[in-house]
Chain A
């Protein structure tokens, strides 16, 4: 099954960590990601720029677009990255998410609708 792993962390990111600590955590995440990607469990994914760089576009019922500064959900936790997982079942996805190196983060697992794939990009 395919899942999207949504990784959320404190809005101020790693500001509470020293530069050396940030570097060490980043290395841990790289190693973790590399290991699961090599095993075919993570197909794709990215780290995102902080929530302060986000732009939200809301469509009105008539189709009008309103553009505002910031992410669509204001909160203490911001989406910081995502990965696309390919695993046998939810328990495997929970195990993987539970081993994520960012110990203070919150992770969400969402199954991906697979019956009709989005068209491939050229």
Chain B
């Protein structure tokens, strides 16, 4: 007999580590996403029945995989719809009965297939996000709904539609060919970064539920890095996330207001984590082909490694933005580059750079907030207030609103 609590703890741990591998492998064998998830659930229930009586198996992950696969074969045999599939998979029969060693290359491939399928460009971004979090990340539908502040029924429907499209439109369960890989990897990275930002930037109602999204995204990205160790951009994105997470505690004051980089208490940053992330970044840089995530992470690393705001290597930041803007010629990158330039050449220079961006960034609150800050430094207080009011009207984020409101109440000062 094994203690019930020991069984529960072991099961929770092994599911955290192995759930994605189990689901991915079953999706490949069955071609049915719902059934795959159901069988993993069944295998977990079987574990709760058997492990307290029989004792813990030597390899918990392999036990779950064998159980789920055995049940998969039973289902395939029982259900006429799957009969043809069973014949097709005849050659895989041996493999299905054989317990998969954890960390084996086959299991790894299935998880990567799962991730690429969830982020297939034929699915909407919302569907990609929901499917990735639910299937690869193992979140419950209700957790995804809470984190994205949408009704649970909406997420459930997105998942149903996405799975139906995968089946009916013939979206394949495979890793893209090398010619397609850059574009497809970009989709995966965009989904992971969106999930991260959704959590990292959260400051409202369900903060803790949303904050977890950032760590979920970090976990998924570290999985991608393990599965594609020779690709620089996943590693760079992971470094970027870790550089942000290392400083997250210093971003908010006790009352939940946002603290700008200028005013953050740098002793509250996790400097070990920053060093670790910077080392990953160096490794990614040595792989060559610097991509947009590498450059973004490099910029964040310059900030994270500066002893104080005043001692930031602004020339390096501007040089990195110059390279980034060649890969991503967007007005937001141009805005950030101009602000860095302002630290080198003064607020008038930065303002001259950002004014031409107004037509394209008029709806972007941070454009107005940045403009307000520059105008204030130039002692143009009335214009600064006007810009802050524009910014305030454009954001719902409570922490940002508090910061802007505080600014508006400040007396004109030198």
Contacts and interface: CB of A to CB of B under 8 A. Distances in A.
Interface of A: 1, 3, 88-91, 93-94, 109, 111
21 contacts: A1-B170, A88-B170, A88-B172, A89-B170, A89-B171, A89-B172, A90-B120, A90-B122, A90-B169, A90-B171, A90-B172, A91-B172, A91-B174, A91-B176, A91-B180, A93-B170, A94-B122, A109-B169, A111-B168, A111-B169, A111-B170
A89 B122 CA distance: 12
B117 to A, nearest CB: 10
Interface string B138-181: 00000000000000000000000000000011111010100010
Nearest to A2: B170
Nearest to A95: B180
Interface residues of B, number: 10
A93 B171 CA distance: 10
Given A88-B170, A90-B172, A111-B169, 11 more contacts: A1-B170, A3-B170, A89-B170, A89-B171, A90-B120, A90-B171, A91-B171, A91-B176, A91-B180, A93-B170, A111-B170
7 A-B pairs with least C-beta separation: A89-B172, A1-B170, A89-B170, A90-B170, A90-B171, A111-B169, A90-B169
Contacts of B172: 88-91
Contacts of B174: 91
Nearest to B122: A90
A1 B170 CA distance: 7
A98 B18 CA distance: 38
A90 B123 CA distance: 12
Interface string B62-85: 000000000000000000000000
B43 to A, nearest CB: 29
Contacts of B168: 111
Nearest to A1: B170
Interface string B108-122: 000000000000101
Contacts of A1: 170
Contacts of B170: 1, 3, 88-90, 93, 111
Contacts of B180: 91
B342 to A, nearest CB: 42
B171 to A, nearest CB: 5
B165 to A, nearest CB: 9
Nearest to A109: B169
B369 to A, nearest CB: 38
A89 B171 CA distance: 6
Nearest to B171: A90
B208 to A, nearest CB: 39
Contacts of A89: 170-172
Contacts of B171: 89-91
Interface in B161-206: 168-172, 174, 176, 180
A84 B187 CA distance: 29
A88 B170 CA distance: 8
For B169, B170, B176, B180, the residue with the greatest tally of chain A CB atoms inside 10 Å of its CB is B170
B399 to A, nearest CB: 42
Interface in B243-278: none
Interface in B322-380: none
A94 B122 CA distance: 9
B270 to A, nearest CB: 42
B263 to A, nearest CB: 49
A109 B171 CA distance: 12
Contacts of A93: 170
A114 to B, nearest CB: 10
Nearest to B167: A111
A88 B171 CA distance: 10
A63 to B, nearest CB: 30
A94 to B, nearest CB: 7
